[in-house]
């Protein structure tokens, strides 16, 4: 079992100072939750959550720069060196009528009462440098056994806040933990409660699961009969949550901004581009993500030969970012990492040599044609596309005088097609 009793957590100086000010003024204060869990596991915490016995007004009186971020629930944000740290007061939650938020909160001087309302044992740790780690629900055993277990009665926890159902799966995916059997049974029993959760919050938990080290755990949403809350359209839904996509997920890696559209494309690989776009809109995704994923899906079966003209044509049609992601996606779906490296190398050389492959990289534009006497209208666009085709096939043609000459010859010939 992990030994927590002599563990010293390295706390950022600003957080230590907030704890010190509260303590020196007679109040208890601890860092709490996920930051303590991550520190025990030897990970760098992303966020530092603080809790205190001080009332919100008392917190505000002790610090010069604060923001009332949720003062009705006891939360004040303390700003230090441009960074905000939320400092909620110990509290006991009242009745949950909407399956998400307590109707009221009661402030308390008891850390134990505050920790009782938290979701999972591994998120119910508290710590300060003087006391050390406080573990009232044997979260350390669950960390050692790699289990997600609800604090107290799981049925009560999921009745209070239905989003905890998805958080259990998300933590399981992020930490590579199993969900404890009683907690699992309660999740299955209360999955209908997700109807009370906004699509925005559902999307966040789904995405964190998909971007985790164990993205295949998104299939638990189907196993636990929660998939309809993510993908309401039954025709689309039956083609997603596909265990066959698990290997695709694992072969896709990288920074989150790039990984997001790739793993989403892997999730939607069995549906059409329009169906993917529709489902992503329902999930309240931003326009850039929707466009990126639908573009990857639309081109998923495109054959990418190691041919400069073909590669430049593809770059022109989909752009460098989508083209690069498409290579990764096709390798992942094929289960053959690196087989498109020759195409990737040719693409990199095209970019390195700044070879023209799109209208913006041509040494001529519509204004140049108009200034040279070509009539305004649709014909300008047609001419530019003819010139682009010529430049893609022969980069040496990308000189203004050559392009004007070719435009003139094309215009004289009265052709709307390509050049010979």
Q: How far apart are the C-alpha atoms of 108 and 117, rounded to whole Å?
A: 12
Same domain as 136, residue 33: yes
Same domain as 131, residue 47: yes
- For 86, 99, 358, 386, 414, the CA distances from 407, given in Å and listed in that order, are 64, 67, 17, 8, 11
Task: Give the pLDDT confidence of 281-339 residue by residue, as tens digits.
Answer: 999 999 999 999 999 999 999 999 999 999 999 999 999 999 999 999 999 999 999 99
Q: How far apart are the C-alpha atoms of 166 and 365, rounded to whole Å?
A: 52
- Residue range 39-47: mean pLDDT, rounded: 91
Q: Which residues contact 257 (CB under 8 A, 6 or more apart)?
A: none
Write out the residue range of the structural domain in which residue 167 sits: 159-230
Mean pLDDT (the chain) is: 92
- DSSP alpha helix (H) spans, 11-55: 13-24, 34-40
Total domains, the chain: 4
* Domain presence at residue 239: no
Which pLDDT does position 70 carry in this prediction? 78
Task: Give the pLDDT confidence of 154-180 residue by residue, as tens digits.
Answer: 999 999 999 999 999 999 999 999 999
The CATH number covering residue 180 comes to 1.10.110.30
Residue 71's pLDDT band, with cuts at 50, 70 and 90, is confident
* Domain presence at residue 150: no
* Domain presence at residue 152: no
Encoded tokens for 262: 């790739």
Same domain as 88, residue 164: no
Q: How far apart are the C-alpha atoms of 329 and 326, rounded to whole Å?
A: 5
Residue where a domain terminates, one of 118, 145, 172: 145
Same domain as 165, residue 304: no
* Domain presence at residue 53: yes
pTM (predicted TM-score): 0.88
Residue 97's pLDDT band, with cuts at 50, 70 and 90, is low
Which pLDDT does position 416 carry in this prediction? 44
Task: Give the pLDDT confidence of 125-145 residue by residue, as tens digits.
Answer: 999 999 999 999 999 999 999
* Domain presence at residue 185: yes
Encoded tokens for 151: 């604090």
At residue 86, the 3 state secondary structure works out as: strand
- Residue range 188-202: mean pLDDT, rounded: 94
* Domain presence at residue 339: yes
């Amino acid at each position: 079992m992990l030994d927590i009793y002599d563990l010293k957590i390295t706390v950022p100086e600003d957080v230590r100072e907030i704890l010190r000010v509260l303590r020196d003024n007679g109040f208890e204060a601890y860092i709490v939750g996920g930051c303590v869990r991550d520190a025990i596991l030897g990970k760098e915490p992303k966020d530092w959550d603080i809790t205190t016995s001080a009332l919100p007004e008392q917190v505000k009186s002790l610090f010069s720069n604060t923001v009332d971020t949720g003062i009705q629930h006891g939360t004040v944000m303390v700003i230090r060196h441009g960074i905000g740290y939320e400092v909620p007061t110990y509290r006991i939650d009242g009745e949950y009528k909407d399956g998400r938020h307590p109707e009221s909160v009661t402030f308390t001087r008891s850390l134990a009462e505050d920790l009782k309302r938290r979701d999972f044992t591994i998120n119910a740790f508290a710590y300060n440098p003087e006391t050390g780690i406080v573990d009232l629900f044997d979260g350390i055993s669950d960390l050692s056994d790699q289990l997600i277990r609800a604090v107290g009665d799981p049925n009560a926890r999921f009745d209070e806040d239905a989003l905890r159902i998805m958080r259990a799966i998300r933590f399981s995916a992020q930490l590579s933990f199993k969900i404890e059997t009683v907690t699992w049974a309660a999740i299955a029993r209360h999955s209908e409660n997700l109807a009370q959760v906004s699509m925005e919050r559902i999307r966040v938990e789904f995405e964190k699961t998909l971007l985790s080290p164990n993205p295949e755990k998104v299939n638990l949403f189907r196993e636990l009969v929660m998939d309809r809350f993510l993908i309401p359209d039954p025709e689309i839904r039956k083609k997603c949550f596909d265990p066959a996509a698990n290997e695709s997920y694992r072969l896709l890696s990288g920074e989150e901004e790039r990984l997001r559209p790739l793993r989403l494309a892997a999730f939607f690989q069995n549906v059409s581009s329009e169906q993917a776009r529709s489902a992503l809109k329902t999930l309240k995704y931003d326009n850039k993500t929707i466009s990126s994923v639908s573009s990857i899906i639309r081109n998923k079966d495109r054959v990418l030969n190691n041919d400069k003209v073909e590669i430049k044509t593809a770059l022109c049609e989909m752009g460098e970012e989508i083209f690069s992601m498409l290579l990764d996606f096709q390798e992942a779906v094929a289960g053959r990492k690196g087989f498109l490296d020759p195409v990737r190398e040719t693409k990199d050389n095209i970019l390195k040599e700044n070879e023209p492959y799109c209208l913006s990289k041509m040494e001529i534009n519509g204004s140049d044609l108009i200034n040279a006497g070509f009539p305004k209208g649709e014909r300008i666009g047609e001419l530019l596309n003819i010139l682009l085709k010529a430049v893609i096939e022969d980069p040496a043609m990308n000189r203004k005088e050559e392009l004007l000459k070719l435009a003139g010859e094309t215009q004289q010939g009265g052709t709307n097609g390509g050049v010979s």
